[in-house]
């Protein structure tokens, strides 16, 4: 799968339905029929939408964990809490389940943002707060990407 690109401001209707933004939908056309998995993010108060192929790759890693290790079992349980299979309907909408709406404080105004091979779904105010966080992005970029390479 190619990487996904873009952040989009969207609205969710009162039933929790989200119309995929056309720019993102075009990028996802080859994978829409496979379906998706929607789950709580581990690190942020947002939702993560995995194309089924990406979810299956992640599950291969999870299945390699030793289930006789308590930490592994606890991690698997918490990681998979609230996981839902999601399909895009014929109108290009997906339904966000109520428990996940509550977790991410999803209201009418949201941001749908690509995160390489998955999509994050955010409450708009929380997204803007995280993006404008006082942590210096230059320092973060150096810490994460500033390693030496031998290429």
Using the predicted structure, report yes or no on whether residue 150 has a pLDDT greater than 80: no
Q: Where is 3: in which H helix or E strand?
A: none
Cα torsion for 84, 90, 93, 99, to the nearest 10°? -30
Please give the pLDDT value at position 134: 58
Please give the pLDDT value at position 95: 96
Q: Is 43 helix (H, G, I), strand (E, B) or coil?
A: coil
The fold for domain 7-145 equals Chemotaxis protein chec (3.40.1550)
Using the predicted structure, report yes or no on whether residue 50 has a pLDDT greater than 90: yes
Q: What is the sign, positive or negative, of the torsion defined by CA atoms of 113, 115, 121, 127?
A: negative
Please give the pLDDT value at position 38: 98
Residue-wise DSSP of 69-115:
SHHHHHHHHHHHTT-EEE---TTSEEEPPHHHHHHTT--SEEEEEEE
Please give the pLDDT value at position 45: 95
Which carries the bigger pLDDT value, residue 47 or residue 130?
47
pTM, entire model? 0.88
């Amino acid at each position: 799968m190619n990487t996904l690109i873009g952040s989009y401001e969207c609205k969710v209707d009162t039933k929790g339905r989200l119309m995929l933004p056309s720019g993102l939908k075009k990028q996802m056309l080859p994978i829409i029929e496979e379906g998706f998995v929607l789950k709580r993010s581990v690190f942020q108060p947002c939702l993560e939408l995995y194309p089924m192929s990406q979810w299956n790759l992640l599950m291969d890693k999870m299945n390699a964990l030793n289930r006789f290790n308590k930490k592994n079992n606890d991690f698997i349980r918490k990681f998979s809490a609230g996981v839902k299979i999601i399909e895009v309907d014929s109108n290009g909408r997906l339904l966000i389940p109520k428990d996940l709406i509550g977790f991410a404080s999803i209201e009418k105004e949201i941001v749908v943002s690509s995160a390489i091979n998955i999509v994050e779904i955010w409450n708009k105010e929380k997204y803007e707060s995280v993006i404008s966080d006082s942590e210096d992005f230059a320092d973060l970029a150096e810490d994460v990407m500033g390693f030496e390479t031998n290429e």
